[in-house]
Amino acid sequence: MSNGPDWEQFGKDEWAAQEEARLGEAEAAGRLSFRLRRAWKGVDSRLKMLAALAVASMVPLLVHNSYLLRVAGLTGLYIMLSLGLNVVAGFAGLLDLGYVAFYGLGAYTYALLASPQFHQHWPFWLILPLVILVTALFGRLLGSPSLRLRGDYLAIVTLGFGQIASLLFLNLDRVSLPFLHLDRPLNITGGPNGIINVDDIRILGHTVETVSGYYYLILIFVALVFLVVFHLDRSRIGRAWRAIREDELAAQSMGVDVRRLKLLAFSAGAAIAGTAGVLFAAWQGAVFPSNFDVSILIILYSMVVLGGVGSIWGAVSGALILSVLPELLRSPEVARLIFYGALILAVLGLWRRARMRGLALLGSVGVLGIALKVTLTALRPAWFLQPELKVSVARSTFAPLMKALNWWMLFPRESRGVGNAAFVLALFLLLGVLRLKGTARYVLLVPGLYTLAFVWETRLVEEPSVTRMLIFGALLVLTMNYRPQGLFGERWVQKL
């Protein structure tokens, strides 16, 4: 672009010229996260997809427990759903809180057309396109009045739509129609009892019945949906969606038909959710209104946010983590392993520049525990239990951990009351840790961590359902603190 002698220096960018050197520096500094990110980005996406697919298709060969396989299948459905939600909320930036309605719509449509409810037994290959069509249409219907709404306002309207849908599922069991003179009110959705005895899926004369059969079917659909979303993302459509999310007015001025593309996002998301609904209905063999309530919506949004809004791999990993983790936490032994592992890793991570201090902290917590255990059990043996290992645990790989725990942790006889008191104490100790600085913080951490572990052992392990939710929340809060953009998301800048 240079023409003329005084013009030489223009149009050149020194910063650009130094790019290679800067990258080298970052590499030399050797931050693990930087290296991981580079390695991840270096691998071709198709290769990553194939690898993920290969691993996923091995699951039924490795897992013989049908319960675990069910969890895997459900994870697949969640991956599909969060991929679809990622299109609407992630790519196009439309805060759609009515998303679960389409999941329900797909499931109920399949259930109505393939169950004894109306004595209809349509084949799967006929229902699926129909469901895709119907849900996409309803997606448009929801989208069109919402076109002028943004952010919170859109969220309210779509939430209302979602609530209407779930109320309809619940109440369309006594419908009176004019002019038809029915003997009794029409029962469409079965109300709270749902629709049962839904047909299994038949494809090419073959009926899918087993858990592993459904797992593979879901896997195929997950792969297809992934491919669809992946291709949409990297195209003029995906770019236009993201442009709308970033700046609707500028997108419009650059030739993007905002109206059309918003509706496309709504219907694409809805169709994906509808497809997942069909698979869910057939697999479960029944549909109930409670399968499609707000709690599912919250879980789905957590998945997308944890993985990184707008990132496809993020949606996949978020769904994977948030549906597998709660299941892992079901067994107290595994839950313990995760809890103590996370605690130790957190301490080592926070003191990674002064490793000895971190180790000293862990050592002091250990010493404190053993000292407390020895003195208190000697003074007041009646207050404490000396739990025996369960046979199943004693034989498993967890035995050493549990034995070590018995040396270190106090198990009070009256675990409930003491545990509750310790919970309050732990809160104050940790608050103190957050408020204090320097040595005081370091010293306070020792009893703080021990009390935390004590609360964990006395209360949380006893009530896994509460614990799982707490860990869920803690995980989300921590991730959002350290990586607000989610695991795979790009950093988000709201304003320049």
Partner 1 sequence: MPLLEMRGLTKRFGGLTAVNDLDLRVEPGEIVSLIGPNGAGKTTLFNLITGLYPPDGGDVVFEGQSLGGLQPHQITARGIARTFQTLRIFTNMTVLENVMVAQHSRSRAGAAETILRLPSFRREEARIRQKAAEALSFFGTRLVGFRFDQLAYSLSYANRRRLEIARAMAAEPKLLLLDEPTAGMNPHETLEMTRMIGQLRDQKGYTILFIEHDMKVVQGVSDRVVALDHGCKIAEGSYEEVAHNERVIEAYLGRRRGGER
Residues at the contact surface with partner 1, assessed by CB under 8 A: 1-2, 7, 10-13, 16-17, 19, 227-228, 231-232, 235-237, 239-240, 242-243, 245-247, 249-258, 264, 268, 310, 490-493, 495-496
Q: Which is nearer to partner 1, 68 or 228 (CB)?
A: 228
Cβ–Cβ < 8 Å for 27, 19: no
Six-digit token string for 404: 């070590």
Residue 486 beta carbon to partner 1: minimum distance, rounded to whole angstroms: 13
Residue 147 beta carbon to partner 1: minimum distance, rounded to whole angstroms: 12
**C-alpha dihedral (46, 52, 54, 59), degrees to nearest 10:** -170
Residue 238 beta carbon to partner 1: minimum distance, rounded to whole angstroms: 8
Q: Which whole-number Å values give the CA distances from 235 to 242, 321, 384, in the listed order?
A: 11, 28, 65
Residue 3 beta carbon to partner 1: minimum distance, rounded to whole angstroms: 9
Residue 37 beta carbon to partner 1: minimum distance, rounded to whole angstroms: 13
Q: Which is nearer to partner 1, 250 or 421 (CB)?
A: 250
Q: Which is nearer to partner 1, 451 or 485 (CB)?
A: 485
Q: Which is nearer to partner 1, 257 or 463 (CB)?
A: 257
Residue 345 beta carbon to partner 1: minimum distance, rounded to whole angstroms: 31
Q: Which is nearer to partner 1, 34 or 122 (CB)?
A: 34
Burial class from Cβ neighbours inside 10 Å (0-12, 13-18, 19+) for residue 149 reads middle
Q: Which is nearer to partner 1, 235 or 375 (CB)?
A: 235
Which one, of 109, 57, 97, 77, lies nearest residue 225 by Cα?
A: 77
Q: Which is nearer to partner 1, 56 or 243 (CB)?
A: 243
Residue 128 beta carbon to partner 1: minimum distance, rounded to whole angstroms: 16
Q: Which is nearer to partner 1, 253 or 439 (CB)?
A: 253
Residue 261 beta carbon to partner 1: minimum distance, rounded to whole angstroms: 9
Cα 24 from Cα 82, distance rounded (Å): 37
Q: Which residues contact 458 (CB under 8 A, 6 or more apart)?
A: 411, 412, 415, 416, 418, 419, 422
Six-digit token string for 479: 């991730």
Q: Which is nearer to partner 1, 11 or 178 (CB)?
A: 11
Cα 282 from Cα 291, distance rounded (Å): 13
Q: Which is nearer to partner 1, 20 or 183 (CB)?
A: 20
Cα 100 from Cα 303, distance rounded (Å): 14
Residue 93 beta carbon to partner 1: minimum distance, rounded to whole angstroms: 10
Provide the phi-psi class of 78: left if phi over 0, else alpha when psi is between -120 and 50, else beta. alpha
* 115 sits in which H/E element: strand 114-115
Residue 258 beta carbon to partner 1: minimum distance, rounded to whole angstroms: 7
Place of tokens 């991730």: 479
Cα 260 from Cα 250, distance rounded (Å): 16
Helix (H, G, I), strand (E, B) or coil at 192: helix
Q: What is the C-alpha R_g of the chain?
A: 28
* 224 sits in which H/E element: helix 211-233
